[in-house]
C-alpha cells in the first residue's frame, strides 16, 4: 500500500467515524514505539459513536516505519493527507531530542560490572553444592511424603551449560544458585521449593535478560519516555538495595504468576550482600533473603513446622516460608475530600518511614507544610484545590510535585534541593516562573494551559531537560528568539496539526524536517 492509498483509506475511515452534520474533520495517527490516535470535527462530540480504533482496524500496514499521519477532511469529500517520520508523535506532539537522556535513578544499560562476578571456568563451590543438595533432598523427601509423588523437576544442568549461560549474560551466578541449577534445571511443576516462587530454566533466564532491559523484570523492554517516567521509590529495606528502576546486575531467575519477579542482586547497596535475593516488578523492590540458600532453608523449616497448604489435585504446595512473612507496606497514601478532614490528624497515624507518595484531593486552602511529619515523601500531589501553599522545605527528600489548584504561591518552593519534577494545572492567575530558577535540580516541568506572561523566564531554568507547553506558549517562546537547546524532550499539548508540529521542530532545531503532503477527493459513494 503506497502513501496515496494510505491517505485515501484513512480519509474514508474518518468520514465513516465522523457521521453527519460537520464541515471539517481531522484524524491523526502516530505509529511507532508509542502509538496514538485522535480525531475530531468542528462540531463538539459529533461522530457516529463507533470506537475510532475499531474503524481504523486494518487501514494501516503494520510493516511501515514509524511516522505520523494526518488527514484533514472536508464535508464535500476533499482532503489533505500529510505524513512525517521526523515529527512522528502527535496527539499530543512529542519531540525527543536526546535519546540518551534518563530521568533520575533510571540508569541506561551498560552499567559497570561489579568486581568479582566476571565469568570464570571454575566449577561450582563444592561446599555450596553440599549445602544446597542437603536442603533440596530434604524438600524432595517431605514433598513426596505429603503428595504421594516425587516433585516434577527438570534434570540439573552441567557445569558447561551453566558457564555458557553466564558467558551470555557476562556474570557468574552466585555459587548457591549455580548449585541449584546443577541439581534442578527448572522447577516446571512450581512445587514450592522457593515458596510462592519458582526458578526458571537457564535458557529462560538468558532470554529474559536480553529481551528486557538488563536487570528489569520480564516485559520491561523499554524505559518509560522522559515525560512519564515516575519517581523511583526507596527499596525495602533501603540500606540493602540500591534505589534504581533497574540494575544490569539484578539477574532475574524466576517469579510467580502475579508479575512479581525474583532476582539475585550482584550490585547491592552498601548494607547489602552480593547474591541476596530480591523481589521486583511494578512495585517497590524488596529484600527476600540474603541468599538462595537462605530461601531454601526457610522453605524446609516451614515444611518441618507444618506451615503449608495442599489443595487436592494440585501438585504445588503453598508453603508459608519466613520470607513471605514480611507484611505488605503501602508506600502510597491517598487522602480524599481534604476539605472535610483534619489533614494533620489524618496523617498522624501513618508511618513516615513507609509512606513515600501522598496524593491529596478536593480541598479548599491547603498548606503542604502540614505534611512535614511524612519526612520520607518523594512524590506529592494536591488535586482539585482552591489554594495551595507549597511549603515543602520540611520535606527534604521530595522529588516530584503536582498541583492542580486555582491559586498557588510558587515563592514557597524557593531553593528546594531535591525537587526535579513539577507539574502545575488549572491556575487561574498569571504565573511568575522566577522562583523556579532557584531550584537546582528542576529537570522536568509541565505548565501547559497556564498564563505565563514572561514565558522567556524558562531560559533561566538551567537544569531543565523535559518540558510540556501548549502550542500558544511555545509560539510565544519562539517569538522571543529562544530555542532551549538543552531540552532532551518536549511535549506540546492541544490540537496541533502536523504541519504546525513540523514548523515547530524546524524552528527549535533548524534541521531538515521532512513533510510529505497529498490531496485527494472522496466520491459520494466511497
Q: Check for a shared fold between 126-324 and 332-494.
A: no
User: Is residue 108 predicted with pLDDT exceeding 80?
Assistant: yes
Torsion of CA 202, 205, 206, 208, to 10 degrees: 150
pLDDT at 49: 55
pLDDT at 220: 65
- The model's confidence at residue 510, banded by pLDDT at 50, 70 and 90, is confident
Average pLDDT, the chain: 93
Q: What is the mean pLDDT of residues 367-377?
A: 97
How far is residue 367's CA from residue 333's CA, in Å, rounded to a whole number?
Answer: 17
Beta-bridge partners for 482: none
Give the three-state DSSP class for 421.
Answer: strand
pLDDT at 217: 65
Q: How far is CA 173 from the centre of its chain?
A: 27
pLDDT at 61: 73
- The model's confidence at residue 404, banded by pLDDT at 50, 70 and 90, is very high
Angle subtended by helix axes 292-304 and 175-183, to nearest 10: 60
- The model's confidence at residue 454, banded by pLDDT at 50, 70 and 90, is very high
- Cell triple for 8: 485515501
Torsion of CA 325, 276, 375, 329, to 10 degrees: -20
Dihedral sign, CA of 146, 148, 149, 150?
A: positive
Domain boundaries, the chain: 3-91, 126-324, 332-494
pLDDT per residue as tens digits for the range 266-300: 999 999 999 999 998 777 889 999 999 999 999 99
Q: Is 452 exposed, middle or buried (0-12, 13-18, 19+ CB in 10 A)?
A: buried
Segment (H or E) for 27: strand 24-31
332-494, which class in CATH? alpha beta
Q: What is the mean pLDDT of residues 405-433?
A: 97
- Please list, in sequence order, all residues whose beta carbon lies within 8 angstroms of the beta carbon of residue 210, skipping any fewer than 6 positions away: 168, 169
How far is residue 432's CA from residue 350's CA, in Å, rounded to a whole number?
Answer: 35
pLDDT per residue as tens digits for the range 119-177: 999 999 999 999 999 999 999 999 999 999 999 999 999 999 999 999 999 999 999 99
pLDDT at 524: 82
pLDDT per residue as tens digits for the range 185-229: 999 989 999 999 999 999 999 998 888 777 776 656 677 889 998
pLDDT per residue as tens digits for the range 241-254: 999 998 999 999 99
DSSP, res 146: H
The CA-atom distances, in angstroms, between 10 and each of 48, 62, 67, 370, 415 are 16, 14, 14, 53, 51
126-324, which class in CATH? alpha beta
- The model's confidence at residue 432, banded by pLDDT at 50, 70 and 90, is very high
- Report yes or no: 412 and 403 within 8 Å, Cβ to Cβ: no
Segment (H or E) for 134: helix 126-147
User: Is residue 47 predicted with pLDDT exceeding 90?
Assistant: no
How far is residue 376's CA from residue 353's CA, in Å, rounded to a whole number?
Answer: 6
Amino acid at each position: 500500500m503506497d502513501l496515496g492509498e494510505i491517505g485515501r483509506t484513512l480519509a474514508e475511515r474518518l468520514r465513516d467515524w465522523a457521521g453527519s452534520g460537520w464541515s471539517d474533520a481531522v484524524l491523526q495517527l502516530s505509529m511507532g514505539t508509542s502509538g496514538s490516535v485522535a480525531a475530531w470535527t468542528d462540531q463538539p462530540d459529533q461522530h457516529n459513536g463507533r470506537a475510532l480504533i475499531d474503524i481504523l482496524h486494518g487501514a494501516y500496514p503494520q510493516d511501515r516505519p514509524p511516522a505520523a499521519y494526518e488527514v484533514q477532511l472536508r464535508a464535500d469529500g476533499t482532503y489533505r493527507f500529510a505524513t512525517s517520520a521526523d515529527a512522528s508523535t502527535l496527539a499530543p506532539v512529542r519531540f525527543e531530542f536526546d535519546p540518551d537522556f534518563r530521568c533520575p535513578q533510571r540508569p541506561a544499560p551498560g552499567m559497570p560490572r561489579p568486581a568479582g562476578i566476571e565469568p570464570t571456568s571454575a566449577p561450582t563451590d563444592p561446599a555450596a553444592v553440599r549445602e544446597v543438595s542437603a536442603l533440596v533432598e530434604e524438600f524432595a523427601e517431605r514433598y513426596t511424603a505429603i503428595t504421594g509423588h516425587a516433585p516434577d523437576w527438570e534434570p540439573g544442568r552441567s557445569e558447561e551449560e551453566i558457564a555458557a549461560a553466564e558467558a551470555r549474560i557476562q556474570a557468574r551466578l552466585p555459587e548457591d544458585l549455580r548449585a541449584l541449577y546443577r541439581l534442578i534445571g527448572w522447577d516446571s511443576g512450581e512445587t514450592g521449593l522457593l515458596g510462592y516462587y519458582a526458578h526458571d530454566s537457564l535458557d529462560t533466564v538468558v532470554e529474559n535478560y536480553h529481551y528486557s532491559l538488563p536487570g528489569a523484570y520480564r516485559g520491561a523492554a523499554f524505559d518509560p519516555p522522559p515525560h512519564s517516567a515516575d519517581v523511583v521509590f526507596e527499596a525495602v529495606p533501603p540500606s540493602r538495595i540500591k534505589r534504581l528502576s533497574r540494575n544490569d546486575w539484578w539477574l532475574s531467575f524466576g517469579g510467580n504468576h502475579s508479575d512479581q519477579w525474583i532476582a539475585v542482586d550482584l550490585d547491592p547497596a552498601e548494607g547489602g550482600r552480593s547474591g541476596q535475593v530480591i523481589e521486583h516488578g511494578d512495585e517497590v523492590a524488596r529484600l527476600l533473603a540474603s541468599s538462595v540458600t537462605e530461601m531454601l532453608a526457610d522453605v524446609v523449616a516451614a515444611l518441618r513446622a507444618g506451615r503449608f497448604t495442599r489443595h487436592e489435585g494440585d501438585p504445588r504446595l503453598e508453603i508459608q516460608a519466613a520470607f513471605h512473612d514480611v507484611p505488605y507496606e503501602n508506600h502510597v497514601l491517598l487522602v480524599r475530600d481534604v476539605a472535610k478532614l483534619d489533614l494533620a490528624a489524618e496523617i498522624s497515624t501513618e508511618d513516615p518511614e513507609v509512606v513515600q507518595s501522598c496524593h491529596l484531593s478536593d480541598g479548599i486552602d491547603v498548606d503542604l507544610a502540614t505534611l512535614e511529619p511524612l519526612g520520607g515523601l518523594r512524590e506529592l500531589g494536591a488535586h482539585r484545590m482552591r489554594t495551595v501553599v507549597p511549603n515543602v522545605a520540611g520535606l527534604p527528600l521530595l522529588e516530584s510535585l503536582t498541583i492542580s489548584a486555582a491559586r498557588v504561591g510558587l515563592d514557597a518552593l524557593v531553593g528546594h534541593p531535591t525537587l526535579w519534577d513539577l507539574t502545575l494545572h488549572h491556575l487561574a492567575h498569571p504565573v511568575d516562573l522566577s522562583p523556579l530558577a532557584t531550584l537546582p535540580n528542576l529537570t522536568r516541568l509541565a505548565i501547559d494551559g497556564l498564563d505565563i506572561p514572561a514565558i522567556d523566564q524558562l531560559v533561566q531554568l538551567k537544569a531543565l531537560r523535559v518540558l510540556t507547553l501548549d502550542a500558544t506558549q511555545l509560539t510565544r517562546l519562539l517569538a522571543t528568539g529562544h530555542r532551549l537547546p538543552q531540552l532532551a524532550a518536549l511535549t506540546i499539548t492541544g490540537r496541533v496539526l502536523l504541519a504546525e508540529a513540523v514548523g515547530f521542530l524546524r524552528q527549535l532545531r533548524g534541521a531538515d524536517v521532512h513533510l510529505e503532503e497529498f490531496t485527494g477527493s472522496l466520491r459520494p459513494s466511497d
